[in-house]
């Protein structure tokens, strides 16, 4: 936010506030904004909104009182930001910041900017696109391996040695502080959420047995489904369902993944399952590019209700694609593909 203000806006008309500041223990956001607007302010940036009780109502009032005031609201607690009792839906355009794509990781670490590709463009031209990138980044598979373990959050730029600790702290922060702020939870439930994450991180591509999970966590089926829903909304896991099932809290997902492979490496330590890593990477690349992804009975994933993908190693056979149009094998250990074989790393260029 501060970088954007410095680069693009008149400083005398811009204000950045963080709502966890002690100033807002005795001063309201509405009063502060009214004074700022009276002095000529027109660009208001509000950070850590979820730390301020009733922020939704006050932002709505500010928006209605000052229609020419441009407002940006930010917060790190996804669940708290999703709870909007005031009618902000017609006033607020939401944007969720995804993890770094492989394309963005290369720009940060190698200093080379590559364009993002749409899925149809990538599928049609993948051989040439991959060849151009490999020619510039010879050890592309080594870079991709580094990216999937310590490259999806930008704080690896300050210290790689501390990266696993930072990831663990981030996960604990979400479970110990963000979730209880959004929903009433007992301390025993927090421990069960962490246990559930560890089970998912060490498993092969995880097809859940809800009854067994309930027994392992000493709880019941409905609570397990509620926990999965909470972790999904907090962006700690991703739930994959078939298009036929639809989304419902009462319907168990077909598969469960951690939100990204950096989480897997941090939680599973030296025990990550290679199949889990591959499928999580593909799901991260496609979902974070805004593409609808569902479970398929014949292949691993269906994207946009049209394209079918089977994920594996370079020896993965094509037999599961029999009878399917727009079907592809995605190996994780090849640099350049051929026809219906497309390297997994290349899907990191979808955004």
Q: Map out the domains of the chain with their CATH numbers.
A: 2-82 (3.40.50.300), 119-349 (no CATH)
Mean pLDDT of 284-288: 98
- The DSSP bridge partners found for residue 237 are 258
d(CA 321, CA 33): 59
Task: Identify the pLDDT of residue 263.
Answer: 96
Mean pLDDT of 277-281: 97
Burial class for 72, CB neighbours closer than 10 Å (0-12, 13-18, 19+): middle
What pTM was computed for the model? 0.87
DSSP H stretches of helix in the chain? 2-8, 29-38, 55-65, 78-82, 102-110, 119-136, 140-150, 163-173, 179-182, 187-202, 210-216, 221-233, 261-268, 274-287
pLDDT at 24 over 60: yes
d(CA 228, CA 209): 12
Per-residue pLDDT band for 202 (boundaries 50, 70, 90) equals confident
Task: Identify the pLDDT of residue 84.
Answer: 58
Top pLDDT among 336 and 96 is at 336
Top pLDDT among 280 and 178 is at 280
Whether the Cβ atoms of residue 69 and residue 62 lie closer than 8 Å to each other = yes
- The DSSP bridge partners found for residue 294 are 302
Task: Identify the pLDDT of residue 249.
Answer: 55
Task: Identify the pLDDT of residue 245.
Answer: 59
């Amino acid at each position: 936010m501060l970088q954007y203000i410095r680069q693009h806006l008149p400083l005398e008309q811009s204000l950045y506030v963080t709502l966890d500041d002690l100033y807002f223990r005795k001063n309201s956001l509405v009063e502060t904004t009214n004074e700022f607007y009276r002095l000529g302010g027109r660009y208001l940036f509000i950070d850590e909104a979820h730390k301020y009780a009733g922020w939704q109502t006050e932002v709505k009032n500010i928006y209605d009182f000052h229609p020419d005031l441009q407002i940006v609201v930010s917060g790190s607690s996804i669940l708290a930001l999703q709870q909007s009792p005031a009618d902000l839906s017609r006033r607020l355009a939401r944007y969720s910041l995804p993890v770094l794509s492989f394309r963005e990781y290369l720009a940060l670490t190698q200093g080379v900017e590559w364009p993002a590709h749409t899925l149809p463009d990538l599928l049609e031209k993948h051989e040439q696109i991959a060849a151009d990138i490999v020619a510039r980044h010879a050890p592309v598979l080594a870079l991709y391996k580094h990216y999937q373990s310590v490259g999806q959050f930008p704080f690896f730029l300050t210290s790689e040695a501390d990266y696993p600790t930072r990831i663990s702290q981030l996960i604990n922060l979400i479970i110990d502080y963000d979730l209880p702020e959004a929903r009433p939870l007992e301390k025993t439930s927090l421990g069960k959420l962490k246990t559930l994450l560890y089970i998912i991180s060490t498993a092969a591509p995880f097809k859940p047995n809800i009854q067994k999970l309930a027994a392992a966590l000493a709880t019941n089926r409905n609570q397990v489904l509620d926990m999965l829903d909470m972790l999904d909304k907090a962006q700690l896991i991703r739930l994959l369902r078939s298009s036929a099932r639809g989304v419902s809290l009462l319907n168990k997902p077909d598969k469960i993944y951690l939100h990204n492979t950096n989480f897997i490496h941090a939680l599973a330590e030296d025990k990550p399952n290679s199949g889990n890593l591959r499928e999580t990477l593909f799901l991260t690349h496609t979902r974070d590019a805004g593409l609808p992804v569902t479970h398929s009975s014949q292949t691993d994933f269906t994207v946009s209700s049209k394209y079918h993908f089977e994920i594996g190693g370079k020896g993965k056979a094509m037999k599961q694609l029999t009878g399917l149009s727009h079907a592809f094998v995605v190996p994780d250990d090849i640099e350049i593909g051929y026809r219906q074989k497309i390297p997994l790393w290349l899907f990191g260029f979808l955004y």
